[in-house]
Structure 1
Amino acid sequence: MLTPENIKQWFKLQSNSEEGGFFAGVYTSAIRIPNTFLPGFLPPTGKHALCSAIYYFLESGTFSAMHKVTGNMIYHFYSGDPVQMLLLYPDGSPNKYEICTFSNDIAAGAYPMKVIPGGTWMGSRLTPGGTYSLMGVTMDPGFDPADYTIGRRQDLITKYPEVSDMITDFTRG
């Protein structure tokens, strides 16, 4: 029987203590991009990788805290229970926010893949009764900690009061 522990061991997932959930790096491009070609990005240590990919895993009792990165993220759903995502879009976007379901159940209107534009705040959790969800995230350019920010509850509530209850659920302290 497939269990969350089996999955974490198989993919060598490690705890993401700041954001929540578990992750494992899968790929980082050897191709590097000079910062002069990436306006708006903070300088990494060296140059940014062209792209990178990770496995991301949520299990019952965990959630992905509100966070954003400078570049684009493409989320992929692989297996398990549906995930509820809260997306808070940056100024100038057509929508202010979006609440969507991420899973393989496209007949129910879920997304098995979701493109999240750079600068979008996002958080996620399993839908009620869920046990686990295995996902993947591809980033362009590749992940660099300099481009990663965890959201502050009050700042996000001030800017997005329409979804303050969900922001509270998707932030710590």
Structure 2
Amino acid sequence: MATVKEIIEWYNMQPNDAEGGYYAEVHTSDISLPDNVLPGFPPLKGGRSLYSAIYYMLPSGETSVLHRVTGDMLYHFYSGLPVEMLLLYPPGSKKEYELCVFGNILERGSHPMKMIPGGTWMGSRLLTSHVEDYAFMGVSLMPGFNPADYTIGKREELIKEYPNQADLIKKFTRDSY
């Protein structure tokens, strides 16, 4: 199995200081959507790309802290070990939260692909703590990623909004953010 350092080098990955883990942009669509055609999205001059895709790697000992984007995200699992994924759904959804195993060990009930609806808070962490363990994934975003659509969750605010999930929220957030 490849090492964390090798994957970072092979895919020219950069640290995601806000969220945790590492990422590399793979593709951004040349097709753009004009501003104001997507309800609920912040206005942008020049519109938005139709979609984008990244590689994302989460090494052992790091957490992808709770974050959300305005559009939908489709996660793909490529290699490594499964992650525990916490989803906090927007108010009015059929369920408040979901805690699932995301990975490619199918016989243990993990999912190799997961659709995360826009506006859903999501975070993940490896289920193991060995130094060289990692999860190597991909994320497709519709519409394409734009920083205006990206929010890192603040622990106290999330606990106020989802008080029944306070213990989980503490595991998937940082004290200082």
Q: TM-score, normalised by structure 1?
A: 0.96
Cα deviation code 1:107-149 (max 9, x no counterpart): 2111100000000000100012351010000000000000001
Does residue 149 of structure 2 align to residue 147 of structure 1? Answer: yes
RMSD over equivalenced CA pairs, Å: 1.1
Query: Where does residue 138 of structure 1 map in the other structure?
Result: 140
Paired with 1:141 and 1:82, the residues of 2 have a C-alpha distance of: 27
Give percent identity, aligned residues only.
Answer: 55
Paired position in structure 1 for 2:67: 67
Paired position in structure 2 for 1:28: 28
Q: Distance in 2 between matches of 1:46 and 1:15?
A: 28
Q: Give the C-alpha shift of residue 54 in structure 1.
A: 0.2
Pairing of 1:70-109 with structure 2 (within 5 A): 70-109=70-109
Q: Name the amino acid aligned to 2:85.
A: M
CA contact (8 A) 1:44 1:144 kept: no
Contact 2:28 2:52 in 1 (8 A): yes
Between Structure 1 and Structure 2, how many residues are aligned? 173
Alpha carbons 1:64, 1:125 under 8 Å: kept:
yes
> Mind listing any 5+ residue stretches in structure 2 that lack a counterpart?
none
Whichever residue aligns with residue 138 of structure 1, its letter is S
Shift of 1:45: 4.3
Q: Which amino acid aligns with 1:105?
A: I
Q: SS where residue 77 of structure 2 aligns?
A: strand
After TM superposition, what 4+ stretches of structure 1 lie above 4 angstroms from structure 2? none
2:35–2:45 Cα contact (<8 Å) kept: no
SS of the aligned residue for 1:133 comes to strand
Contact 1:80 1:132 in 2 (8 A): yes
Q: Distance in 2 between matches of 1:127 and 1:136?
A: 18
Are residue 162 (structure 1) and residue 164 (structure 2) matched?
Answer: yes
Amino acid at match of 1:68: R
Q: For residue 142 of structure 1, what is the amino acid of its counterpart?
A: G
Give structure 1 stretches of 5+ with no counterpart: none
